[in-house]
Amino acid sequence: MHTTPSRHSSFITSPPVDQIGVEERVARLHSRSIKKASKVEALRLALSMLDLTTLEGSDSAGKVRQLCFKAMHVHDALPLPHVAAVCVYPTLVRVAREALGHSSIKVAAVATAFPAGQADRETKIRDTRFAIEEGADEIDMVISRGEFLRGEIAYVHDEIAEIKSICGPILLKVILETGELGTLDRVRQASDVALAAGADFIKTSTGKIQPAATPPVALVMMEALRDFHTRTGERRGLKPAGGIRTAKQAIQYLVMLRETLGPEWLTPDLFRIGASTLANDLVMQIAKESNGVYQSVDYFSQV
């Protein structure tokens, strides 16, 4: 199962992370008051960064078609941006691709034995290839947490690098499943390893493990992205996913993004939010900002 340790990853030394300091910084950023025009802009921005997701065992072609229609027409009563992508299992990629037609919405597929990643390398490679052949624009892979936590950092690095080599120009998001990593130090290390191995995006979670995305975890990942950019000049992306349900949370992530990585990252090319129900709250809040009153939830499609 083990490959030769990478020559590169052994040079990666991640800086220590102080959890209390991170939490204080997050609290400070959360105290930003986002009102009026800046709130509406943030809500629209968040909507355009959404990876509308369904990842259930019970997913069917019909459900995915519904999701795709919603991705293109979140709420046609208002002029809104469409979401960035829909995120589905590899077997449903073709359905999504067809349903989205000529829209510019991407199809992202989870691969590499999502969500646990407990499979051999060959299975993961096959899984990835299949998703690409079915028409996926983006691959969301999971890292081997067991290997990572055992200290087999090189194994994790090389696995990501191999999947990236299969993806080629296809966007690769690497899910660290931070809820299983335990400490912010490990979140930082996993981020550095994934970026060194060629991840286009680093992503917090599958949504299957609690806690999923948390602001402290996202902040540490942003710091890793910032340092990577300082070191290499390359801008890579971040995707917090899981547990982001309200517009308020989404705005808090955007504040963190803006003040940690800068306005250059305020684009769906570099920031995505993985969520299944967030779109509804974003749309409701946008409607509220334009009408001045909250409307009944029954005016918005809930699924």
Q: Which residues bind to other proteins, rule: CB under 8 A? A: 15-18, 20-22, 24-25, 31-39, 41-42, 44-45, 48, 81-82, 104, 106, 137-138, 169-171, 200, 223, 230, 237, 254, 258-259, 263-264, 266-269
Q: How far is the CB of 44 from other proteins (least distance, A)?
A: 7
Q: How far is the CB of 26 from other proteins (least distance, A)?
A: 11
- Told to judge if 140 belongs to the known catalytic residues of this protein, a careful annotator would answer yes
Kindly name the residue from 70, 173, 239, 281 that is annotated as catalytic.
239
- Told to judge if 36 belongs to the known catalytic residues of this protein, a careful annotator would answer no
Q: Considering the complex, state which of residue 24 and residue 56 has its C-beta at the smaller distance from other proteins.
A: 24
Kindly name the residue from 51, 127, 137, 140 that is annotated as catalytic.
140
- Told to judge if 192 belongs to the known catalytic residues of this protein, a careful annotator would answer no
Q: How far is the CB of 53 from other proteins (least distance, A)?
A: 18
Q: Considering the complex, state which of residue 242 and residue 274 has its C-beta at the smaller distance from other proteins.
A: 274
Q: Considering the complex, state which of residue 152 and residue 200 has its C-beta at the smaller distance from other proteins.
A: 200
User: What does residue 130 show for φ and ψ, rounded to 5 degrees?
Assistant: -60, -45
Q: Considering the complex, state which of residue 1 and residue 37 has its C-beta at the smaller distance from other proteins.
A: 37
Hey, which residues are catalytic here? 140, 203, 239
